[in-house]
Amino acid sequence: KDLSEQPSDEVSVIGIGTFRNKGNEWLLISYTGTDTVLDLTGIEINGKQVTSYRIAEGVFRNNTTLEKIIADSSLKQIQSDAFYGCTNLKTVDLGKSVEKLGNMVFSDCSALTEVKFSPALQEIGYMLFRNDANLSEIDLNGNANFKFSDGVLYSADMTVLYETLLS
């Protein structure tokens, strides 16, 4: 098969990292910043506002400079291990439109104390907060799909246990 005839992905490098676009879907595939606050609001690529994107697997893995993450309604999904091992990450605000969190997204984030879910969150992977000993509270932010009670994250009907936070 002649690969030269295949449509290529559009790749754009902006201040925070590299995005790949395949069709109408943007994916953050690498991070080049060193900021303590990751501001994922108002992202523009080629002069156009990005209205929907995902964060790829492991993009921020073992980053030691991040302390805070702020997202807006354009972030829809965070894939597995995206922030795994970010040992200085303290607070996460997932914005209003994140629908899916992959496996172990925030595992081994030992400084993590605050997480604010997206009201649109529908699906979370396993061991989301593994070894996050300082995390004791999750702000569900009006999300009706989950329940947080006595340090345990459940499905709304409490038939599925997702995570037990140990302090």
pTM exceeds 0.75, yes or no: yes
Q: Give the per-residue pLDDT at 10.
A: 85
Residues 6+ apart with CB under 8 A from 36: 65, 66, 67, 68, 88
pLDDT reading at 120 higher than 70 = yes
Q: How far apart are CA 45 and CA 65, in angstroms?
A: 24
pLDDT attached to residue 25: 83
Instruction: Give the closest residue to 121 by CA, choosing from 80, 159, 73.
Output: 73
**Mean pLDDT over residues 137-154, rounded?**
94
The dihedrals phi and psi of 54, each to the nearest 5 degrees, come to: -125, 160
